[in-house]
Amino acid sequence: MGLVKTFIVSVFRLAAGLAFVCAALTGCLLASTAMGQDNLLDVARSLFSPIPKRAADLDGNPATLEKLELGKMLYFEPRLSQAHNISCNTCHQIGRAGGDGRSTSIGHNWQRGGRNAPTVFNAVFNIAQFWDGRAADLTEQAGGPISNPTEMGTTPGHAVEELKGIPGYVEAFGKAFPDEIDPLTYDNIARAIAVFEATLITPNAPFDRYLEGNENALTTEQEEGLRLFTDKGCSSCHNGINLGGSMYAPFGVIEKPGWEFLPPDDKGRVEVTRKVDDDYVFKVPTLRNVALTAPYFHSGHAWDLEQAVAVMGTTQLGTQLSPEEVDKITAFLQALTGDQPKVTYPTLPPSVATTPRPTP
């Protein structure tokens, strides 16, 4: 039975890999065919969309000024962590393109997280949140790190108790959720943070201006990189508004990268779905602002964008990109850096004598 099971698992994995390869090759072929028929801008518009100047409201969680201001305070609030030393901004820093510049983040009691912290910028446009897609939306994601013992290290109940012990937050939740009898709940903590996170978008990148009709927005090298990006098949996965974030894919479709890039004990989405063909499958990351968000991959092992591009060529496309091709694609990726959010650090409500104390 063991041999039969192993054979079946191998068949499933092979089928999943072949299906992905076919999809990638089909996308590459369609892009190449279109490139021969239309100009580069037309092809780009068929594959990508510009970041809007304003993010849309979240489903079932409309934004108000009071909720937005509360969400901003909570995003920077270290008292949501057990030791009062970690906030959302610790791992998703506004001043660092929504990441933290570490391979893996440091959490409660100096524990190391298992994966690189993905950028929160433009996350509102992703199909799901986290590398494995275990959170359906920003609201579900916002509540995860607070109660994760490796990250902020508290519990939902204690987080609510903490904020109820701060009079300024009791008042702020009442204003943000005026129709609720008990507005200060764990769900509303997540809702307020999600509303703030939805505003962290980066429009007006050179590539956005190009998509909007300014064909001079890209340099010649960046245009050549865009052409390679579509011709080689990169856009089969990295497409849409976020140039990623809209699908899942195995890391190592054609050729497995080294275990430093693909740690063997992190099997990705299979831990969420329990489906054997989701072994080493991860959400395709957004490439928006990628020039600002090193290190790369879920392992955070690649610190050089050119290296990351070359690795993706061999592992996902089965292509050994030349140094010149890598340089041109990297130049195009630099055109994805948009206007960074301007966020004023909020003044947080003070603790009082009865506010719960930190517990290291």
Residues 6+ apart with CB under 8 A from 24: 233, 236, 237, 253, 316, 317
Cα-only R_g, the chain: 22
Closest CA to 230 of 67, 52, 39: 39
For residues 272 and 135, what is the distance between their CA atoms, to the nearest angstrom? 10
Residues 6+ apart with CB under 8 A from 307: none
* Residue 30, burial from CB neighbour count under 10 angstroms (0-12, 13-18, 19+): middle
Is 55 in contact with 164 (CB distance < 8 Å)? no
For residues 329 and 232, what is the distance between their CA atoms, to the nearest angstrom? 10
For residues 324 and 86, what is the distance between their CA atoms, to the nearest angstrom? 42
* Residue 117, burial from CB neighbour count under 10 angstroms (0-12, 13-18, 19+): buried
212 is catalytic: no
**Residue listed under structure tokens 């204003």:** 175
**Strand segments (E) across the chain:** 248-250, 281-283
In angstroms, the Cα distances linking 74 to 69, 84, 185, 188 are 9, 12, 13, 11
User: How many CB atoms lie under 10 A from the CB of residue 192?
Assistant: 30
151, 162, 197, 325: the active-site residue: 151
Is 159 in contact with 146 (CB distance < 8 Å)? yes
Is 260 in contact with 273 (CB distance < 8 Å)? no
User: How many CB atoms lie under 10 A from the CB of residue 58?
Assistant: 17
Residues 6+ apart with CB under 8 A from 264: none
Is 277 in contact with 234 (CB distance < 8 Å)? no
List residues with catalytic annotation. 151
